[in-house]
Structure 1
Amino acid sequence: MRHGQTQFNALGKIQGVCDSPLTSKGIADAKRVGQYFKDNQIEFDHAYSSTQERASNTLELVTNQPYQRLKGLKEWNFGVFEGENQRLNPKYDSKIGSVGDAFVPYGGDSADAVQARMVRVLTDIMNRKDNQKILIVGHGASIYLFLKNWIPLKEIVKHVEMKNCSVLKFEFENNEFKYLKTINVVN
């Protein structure tokens, strides 16, 4: 699940490792997702979030169950671009489906490094004992890069809309994830 809307989301600011609080919309949307889970009797064996407040706060609004915060689930580090207007983002390369290494010279992460981290951490989580139905709250760019590891870019562009508080459903078998669908409870 992607975290709820933050002040930086609403203001069009680049938000990776920097953090900003959830807006009233972000709080209300997270509560609506929690109600959706209750109404549909969806329960989780375990829950995890990024160490960033916007993700852990979202998770706490969705469920009261205990959870673990993991650094490996954090968002992409955008270096000196953090907190700046999104218009300053490097140019997206449609051939590779990201900006690649564009943030590296500015103190940020490469897309490949974030993708590898996310695949490793999520695979490790799913291989833990008793982890069958898991809720993980994270961030848009890192979730996108994780997703890009498992399905072709053209399918992501056509079929995956990942707004704040979107829930992406996967199956996991033989150390591979299969994307099933995105659940958008909120507008």
Structure 2
Amino acid sequence: MSKTLYLMLHGQTLFNQLHLIQGSCDSPLTEEGIDSAKVAGKYFKDAGIKFDHAYSSTQERAADTLELITDQPYQRLKGLKEWDFGVFEAQPEFLNPKNQPERHSYGDFFVQYHGESDYDVQNRMNETLTRIMQQADDGQSILAVSHGGAIHAFLLKWMDWNVMDEKVRLHNCAVVKLTFEDEKFTFEEVIQNN
């Protein structure tokens, strides 16, 4: 029997609003970010979706988002953190490189600047989310609040790029619904909450 993962992007932050690169560094949720998280919480409540377990990255923007959605206990995990962009942290977004076409991401660009590669992020996200889902019982629903770059890297492992390009738009407070069965993640839908 399958298990359901609701993989959510945190609410809008000050750095998002200011168009600054935000990976391992942190900034607070804006009023819009707070409101969007509350809308997401209402969506889950109205849809009758209850979480058997909840997780967030160790970064405050993710934990704060989760706490606006549910008051249940949760665990903070480093494996769900955002991509580390090295010395580019807190710099203007226009400094981001172009995606490497063959990898559909920044690839290993940030490694030379003391950051992570897309595969580093993908591997730690996959290991963390797989472990979370393996620990859940059949039929359970899990909420995990993470970050845009980290979620993108994770989805590249499990989705065909053309399908992902067509169906996945990761805005603040978007939720990617996946099922987990036979050690595999399967994309179901994206729920937009902004």
Residue 172 of structure 1 is matched in structure 2 by 180
- Using the alignment, how far apart are the partners of 2:103 and 2:79 within structure 1? 23
What is the Cα deviation at residue 141 of structure 1? 0.4
- Using the alignment, how far apart are the partners of 1:185 and 1:12 within structure 2? 20
Q: How does 1:6-85 map to 2 (within 5 A)?
A: 6-85=13-92
Q: How does 1:94-133 map to 2 (within 5 A)?
A: 94-130=101-137, 132-133=140-141
Runs of 4+ in 1 over 6 A off after TM superposition: none
Deviations 1:140-169 (A, max 9, x none): 000011011001112111111110000110
Query: Does structure 2 retain, via aligned residues, the 8 Å contact 1:100–1:112?
Result: yes
Query: Does structure 2 retain, via aligned residues, the 8 Å contact 1:33–1:62?
Result: yes
TM-score (norm 2): 0.94
- Using the alignment, how far apart are the partners of 1:37 and 1:121 within structure 2? 23
Secondary structure of the structure 2 residue equivalent to 1:125: helix
Deviations 1:57-84 (A, max 9, x none): 0000000110000011100000000000
Q: 2:144 aligns with which of 132, 136, 141?
A: 136
Residue 185 of structure 1 is matched in structure 2 by 193
Q: Report % sequence identity.
A: 54
Instruction: Return 5+ residue gaps in structure 1 as ranges.
Output: none
Q: 1:157 aligns with which of 149, 153, 165?
A: 165
Secondary structure of the structure 2 residue equivalent to 1:127: helix
TM-score (norm 1): 0.97
- Using the alignment, how far apart are the partners of 2:193 and 2:61 within structure 1? 18
